[in-house]
Structure 1
Amino acid sequence: MAREIALLTNPTSGRGKGARYRQTALDRLRDAGLVVRNLEGRDADEALDLARASVADGVDSLVVCGGDGLVHLATQVLAGTGIPLGIIPAGTGNDVARYFDLPRADPLAAADRVIGSHTRTVDLARSGSRWFVTVLAAGFDAIVNERANDMTWPRGQMRYNLATLLELRTFRPLPFTLDLDGVALRRDAMLVAVGNGTSYGGGLRITEGALLDDGLLDVVIISSMTKPKLVRTYPKLFSGTHTSVAEYEHHRVRSVTVAAPGVVSYADGERFGALPLTVTCEPASLVVFA
């Protein structure tokens, strides 16, 4: 029997790339003999319901055409099931696609990864009933994300750049309390990031060195620094060379609890939850076409 997959699309991702890439990928998948359920939710809740219903019906895999937000949604359905996730990258950041070296501007090549059926099994991070693939932002980065989400202009990456400048005017280091596998730690810090993977925000390698299949979380702390130094350090995140700054601190743990006043964390670019949060690594929880 032909493989049956569900293709779930966010048509507005990547300024409309989702809709364009969907049709290209859909044609390639069907030409290869796959039976494809073509799904599109009117909002995130409906998309989640469609994904859950398809998995419950027994599809062989769930393929998403969109960005990290849609991957995040699919992960809530697929975590621990063994059902593979396919990704047709069509978002702005596409950090999960970067992890698996998936083509980010070629939906045909991305669809071929699904057709080829080669998979990789990786860890996930979990807090309560929610899961994430990339990095939990808790600090200045999360506050910037929160502000950017409230802005309607400008679009794309420039919105986050403007939100960063606006927050820099008033931001002060936050008093963090952490529990790292039972070891208590207190720091006044600019941010704390909890990484399952290495990057967020479209290639910002905040948790440089993180591995997707080591059974551990990478916790990075950037302690108090001057605003000019923070601005100078920011470009280093794209290459992972921020690890050389004196304020950088890195821990590998199985579980971490992060607390700081007034912070709403983000993970996979999505609003995740107010601190305090406990995050654990759940080994071998997600299968991905790679």
Structure 2
Amino acid sequence: MPRVVVLTNPTSGKGRAARVRDEALPRFHGAGWQTTALTSRSADDALDLARVAAAERPDVLAVCGGDGMVNIAMQALAGTGVPLGILPAGTGNDFARYFDVPLGDPAAAASRIVHATTRTVDLARIGERYFGGVLAAGFDAVVNERANRMRWPRGQMRYNLATLAELRVFQPLKYLLELDGEERSVEAMLVAVGNGPSFGGGLRITHGAELDDGLLDVVLIKPLSRRELVRTYPKLFDGSHVNHPQYEHHRVKRVTVACAGIVGYADGERFGPLPLTVEAIPGALAVRA
């Protein structure tokens, strides 16, 4: 009998995660899966529960929450071979989007876990901490900080409003990059380091990034006027910004990003002030999706 451990962050999506869990569990039961449901009280508690669950070697550790909850599971599952399952219940749900996991349909997401095969993908690592999506390290990070302080609205509109608010005051930043050992000094609006292609609920900043190529996609958006940045922003939803003359793209195994006064965010989580060094870790995570 297959066994799934379902780990829930009850605060994700302002309580939506608990409802998602309650709709998903009957699908596992109906498919004959043995289920264990765990509820975390904090981020630290969730990590402890995920590590204990991974040590018991279930067939799947399914997390019910947003990208932050998925990121916590990555810390416990990286290198173990225990597959991650995703029951999306957050704001952005970008990692779920990478695998076309149904959003807003918990039963369908659970069925995906039951019937899917397991895929092995890369992770990115900063120190001892992993992420699966995109490191935001510029205008995007400043927007993320503002969006995280906002209580309203929910979903993508929160990032859109935060973007408009920051546009009024934002200036290009001076970066020092080290790309696979080659140093580069550059002015840019942002630098993004992608293991996956999107962040912020579907903004495809590192469009074209592949989850299993063993490489990081480093994207620079060089200085733009505020008007041009506003015009370019909608193109992030379909990846057509890659044709803009101020777009620059590198694929590397390791990158260091330095810029004064900027805090790096990845998977919606605060990773700390720059400089940060990111390296690709091939085949680090199994995902059942």
Scaled to the shorter chain, the TM-score interval is over 0.9
Secondary structure of the 2:74 match is: helix
Aligned to 2:177: 178
Aligned to 2:20: 21
Aligned to 1:45: 44
Aligned to 1:161: 160
Q: Distance in 2 between matches of 1:20 and 1:247?
A: 44
Aligned to 1:250: 249
Alpha-carbon offset, residue 117 of structure 1: 4.7
Counterpart amino acid of residue 38 in structure 1: A
Unaligned runs of 5+ in 2: none
Aligned to 2:64: 65
Higher deviation after alignment, 159-168 or 149-158? 149-158
Aligned to 2:186: 187
Deviations 1:67-101 (A, max 9, x none): 11111110011011110000111222111111111
Higher deviation after alignment, 222-231 or 61-70? 61-70
Counterpart amino acid of residue 250 in structure 1: H
Deviations 1:241-284 (A, max 9, x none): 00111110000001100000011110011111211011011101
> Is 1:95 equivalent to 2:89 in the alignment?
no
Aligned to 2:76: 77
Alpha-carbon offset, residue 116 of structure 1: 1.9
Mapping 1:210-249, distance limit 5 Å = 210-249=209-248
> Is 1:274 equivalent to 2:264 in the alignment?
no
Counterpart amino acid of residue 14 in structure 1: G
Secondary structure of the 1:211 match is: coil
> Is 1:148 equivalent to 2:182 in the alignment?
no
Q: Distance in 1 between matches of 2:91 and 2:230?
A: 22
Alpha-carbon offset, residue 36 of structure 1: 1.3
Counterpart amino acid of residue 279 in structure 1: V
Counterpart amino acid of residue 149 in structure 2: D
Unaligned runs of 5+ in 1: none
Change (3 A) 1:41 1:210: same
So what's the TM-score if we normalise by structure 2?
Answer: 0.96
Q: Distance in 1 between matches of 2:196 and 2:154?
A: 26
Checking the alignment, whether the CA contact within 8 Å between 2:95 and 2:132 is kept in structure 1 is yes
Higher deviation after alignment, 163-172 or 10-19? 10-19
Secondary structure of the 2:122 match is: strand
Q: Distance in 1 between matches of 2:104 and 2:156?
A: 17
Alpha-carbon offset, residue 13 of structure 1: 2.2
Counterpart amino acid of residue 205 in structure 1: R
Counterpart amino acid of residue 250 in structure 2: H
Checking the alignment, whether the CA contact within 8 Å between 2:124 and 2:281 is kept in structure 1 is yes
Secondary structure of the 2:257 match is: strand
Q: Distance in 2 between matches of 1:202 and 1:117?
A: 23
Secondary structure of the 1:16 match is: helix
Q: Distance in 1 between matches of 2:156 and 2:44?
A: 25
Aligned to 2:135: 136
Secondary structure of the 1:109 match is: helix
Counterpart amino acid of residue 19 in structure 1: A
Deviations 1:182-212 (A, max 9, x none): 1111111100000001111111110111111
Checking the alignment, whether the CA contact within 8 Å between 2:176 and 2:183 is kept in structure 1 is yes
Checking the alignment, whether the CA contact within 8 Å between 2:92 and 2:155 is kept in structure 1 is no
Runs of 4+ in 1 over 4 A off after TM superposition: none
Counterpart amino acid of residue 240 in structure 2: T
Q: Distance in 2 between matches of 1:43 and 1:156?
A: 22
Q: Distance in 2 between matches of 1:144 and 1:32?
A: 42
Aligned to 1:9: 8
Q: Distance in 1 between matches of 2:66 and 2:215?
A: 25
Q: Distance in 1 between matches of 2:116 and 2:242?
A: 36
Alpha-carbon offset, residue 15 of structure 1: 3.7
Aligned alpha-carbon RMSD (Å): 1.3
> Is 1:286 equivalent to 2:285 in the alignment?
yes
Checking the alignment, whether the CA contact within 8 Å between 2:218 and 2:252 is kept in structure 1 is yes
Q: Distance in 2 between matches of 1:94 and 1:156?
A: 10
Secondary structure of the 2:26 match is: helix
